[in-house]
Chains A and B, each alone.
Chain A
């Protein structure tokens, strides 16, 4: 299960950005220990005090340092440096206290730095995505890939007309998130649904789609303007034709206002007129494009009276689609059968 991966390495438990070593507590404890242990040294070297007393004083200093370090300390604070500091004071006496005071400025840099934590958080968020094979393996084993036995509906309009309420609502959600102009009739049908819940949701989808289309329209019209000005090279030729096809679909989808619909048509005309005026083989472009683009270009060829180009486009497209052609004649001789 994915949850197992979320156990952070032990050294990473401290929250990011929280100082771990050089706090007032640690500094105070170390300073106190140095002063206290100095007295212990003096007592030990004076020769007038029994060793037992010296040890007791050392123990008392250690206890007070422990109190400074841990008394009323919030549970969420990291205790690593404090614990190390106390251990050094206990074991090494005066030398340990001095060494602890000296090492304190560096203690804050120990442990995991922000960069290490950043990497850990990135891993938590799966920001790098991992390698494709691992990702795919994880998705398959977790059961997150498409199930081919759950077939999509034949058409959304059918679902809106005959589906259950849940299906209609799910279909409208999908239409909103993955809108294509082919979904417009289903949306129009939903707006007329006798079920108020469906009508309300369809209205919300229409509002969202109209807003999305407005932005898309801006991009497409900028493309059309670029083509009109002749600023696009051969590389974007096919992209321009696809934009023309999309503009014409938008013009007729019923979800843009009349003024925008006119702008769509003018934009598409600009691109197609430019394409026909160039020496490039429009028919090949039509054939190579997807079916929708091909239809738009072929319509335009018919309107322009370029019937030969139209026929060639049809044939190339059919051949590329794998359809067989029957040879009707060789030269002037008809082929039997």
Chain B
């Protein structure tokens, strides 16, 4: 990854092979999905890419990635800047009731037909009025009242109004943005990016592909269910089945509807691991479209690393940022329990400590309070490769992960893993049910926030060199077989070739339905 000036935008660029649609990451937020997008483009040098980056509003930070040579255009779509100043005069469109019905259907249930109907209705509106003016017109006022009566009749209209503005503003931004020409539209999440891909598929007939790293709707649901900033305008007490729709329900329902639309319209749906397919199925993703392409790593980087000698100081390590979601405190408490059985224990916490300084201070205080000064060591940001050769057992205590690369890196180095049951950890460490022949367990899975279980598992591996070696080798074999960069790159190459070669479906031209 390289710091660089803003990537030049070339909206007039010719048709690209693949148009990537990304929300809230590339090229301004480093790591995670942004790194993956950078890797994807670089891993397909013969394929030309354009990127549509969705943001709430223009970014003030510089791009964090140097553009690869095959990136032909970067477009910015801003979700919260829709709407022109109101016009005092001008003819409004007739029949806003139908538009209201179509929008309500799209925001509450979703689906390809619902999106198609909204696009049809908007095409009718465009004949008499620019959509940016519509959004701030008396017609919009009628629309919001109609939709409020249909969607959230018990809730506060005032709160509905502002939520409606935010939701519709984003939706209309997505539906009005000029569509870059491409052979394949590839979105990296559902939500607004997924809607954009669905719209592209409907308008051009070209295939739309979805790769989900996390499950966008789950992430939004968790945020919304816990959010203090969302006002509860209906008092439901502690009842769980109250059918009255309030703001939280409205937002969650909209994101689910967007996901349903994307799943239904997409030609293919890729997940990083099998567990993530379950929520996709629940929202209507067809079995035939589902596919798993795991992320991979470059094995050559780890080839020279030898397992830590049995005679070396017994060492466990957690590699990751020192932040609450990694639950470093459980690692420290496990080290405390483990120290009673392995007195010479060393427990490294390898990763940056500056992201949540208060949490880091708490961790240091906890270790000191438990008398683990010489046992638990925080290294800060270091080159992980320098440490892997001294680690007997790797540990991951995270509360949430998708497909953690650290498990793959440990596997490439032949180090067995003790990890919480999050993301794809179980699939990587124990192997999927479909694995044939079964390569054996590469470590032990524990429950979340269970320091005693974690200590027991680490003790087993620290005190039994044979088992440690067997599990380390099993993990190494599995990573080499299923989790390499070259495997992932080949899968995407094949997928793109298949989609680009497929005859385009006839586009559903809005307004002519």
Closest-CB distance, A54 to chain B (whole angstroms):
35
List of B residues within 8 angstroms of A203 by Cβ: 325, 399-400, 422, 448
Interface contacts beyond A200-B218, A201-B225: sample of 13 additional A-B pairs, CB < 8 Å, sorted by A:
A3-B145, A6-B157, A76-B86, A139-B235, A147-B239, A152-B237, A153-B238, A163-B240, A169-B225, A170-B225, A191-B449, A202-B448, A258-B333
Query: CA A200 – CA B275 in complex, angstroms?
Result: 12
B148 within 8 A of A: yes
Q: A126-B158, A147-B242 are in contact. Are A197 and B366 (CB under 8 A)?
A: no
Cα separation A192 to B148 with both chains bound (whole Å)? 40
- Whether B235 and A145, one on each chain, are in contact in the complex, defined by CB atoms closer than 8 angstroms, is yes
Residue B343 is within 8 A (CB to CB) of chain A in the complex: no
Known contacts A6-B157, A75-B89, A143-B154; A204 and B239 CB within 8 A of each other:
no
- Flag if A207 contacts B237 (CB, 8 Å): no
Least CB distance, A195 to chain B, in whole angstroms: 8
Separation of A209 and B499 alpha carbons in the complex (Å): 45
CA distance A145 to B157 in the complex (A): 16
Contact of A150 among B236, B325, B365 (CB under 8 A): B236
Segment at the interface with B among A105-113, A173-181, A228-236, A326-334: A173-181
Q: Which residues of A contact B463 (CB under 8 A)?
A: none
Are B448 and A208 within 8 A (Cβ)?
Answer: no
CA distance A258 to B225 in the complex (A): 29
* B422 contact set on A, CB distance < 8 A: 199-200, 203
Asked if A75 and B226 make an inter-chain contact with CB atoms under 8 angstroms apart, the answer reads: no
Question: Is there a chain B Cβ closer than 8 Å to A34's Cβ?
Answer: no
Residues of chain B with a CB closer than 8 A to A201's CB:
218, 221-222, 225
Which residues 154-213 in A have Cβ within 8 Å of B in the complex?
A: 159, 163, 165-167, 169-174, 176-178, 191-192, 196-197, 199-208, 210-211
**Which of B153, B226, B447 contacts A173, CB < 8 Å?**
B226
Does the CB pair A207–B399 fall under 8 Å? Answer: yes
Number of A residues contacting the other chain (C-beta, 8 Å)? 56
Q: Nearest CB to that of B156 among chain A residues?
A: A2
Min CB–CB distance A16 → chain B (angstroms): 15
Tell me the minimal C-beta distance from A68 to chain B in angstroms.
Answer: 19
On whether A75 and B324 interact (CB within 8 A), knowing A159-B240, A167-B240, A201-B218, the answer reads no
Decide if B505 is an interface residue (CB 8 Å cutoff): no
A2 and B157 contact, CB distance less than 8 A: yes
Ordered by A's residue number, 28 sampled pairs between the chains whose C-beta atoms are within 8 Å are A6-B157, A6-B161, A76-B86, A124-B158, A143-B244, A144-B154, A147-B236, A147-B239, A163-B240, A166-B240, A169-B225, A191-B448, A192-B447, A192-B448, A197-B279, A200-B400, A201-B222, A203-B399, A206-B449, A207-B325, A207-B327, A207-B399, A207-B400, A210-B324, A257-B362, A258-B369, A259-B366, A262-B369
User: Smallest Cβ distance from A26 to chain B, in angstroms?
Assistant: 18
Number of B residues near A (Cβ < 8 Å) is: 57
User: From DSSP, what is the main secondary structure of chain B's interface residues?
Assistant: loop
- Could you tell me if B157 and A259 are in contact, using CB atoms closer than 8 angstroms? no
Query: Chain A residue with minimal CB distance to B227?
Result: A177
Bound-state CA distance A153–B278 (Å) is 27
Task: Point out the residues of chain A lying under 8 angstroms from B329, CB to CB.
Answer: 257
CB of A176 within 8 A of CB of B86, answer no
**Contact of A258 with B158 in the complex, beta carbons under 8 Å:** no
Closest 8 CB pairs of A and B: A173-B225, A75-B88, A203-B399, A152-B238, A150-B239, A259-B369, A2-B157, A176-B226
B336 at the interface (CB under 8 A from A): yes
Contacts of B448 in A (CB 8 A): 191-192, 199, 202-203, 206
A199 to B221 CA separation, bound complex (whole angstroms): 14
B498 at the interface (CB under 8 A from A): no
Alpha-carbon separation in the docked complex, A259 to B366 (Å): 6
In the assembled complex, B234 has its CB within 8 A of some CB on chain A: yes
A151 at the interface (CB under 8 A from B): yes
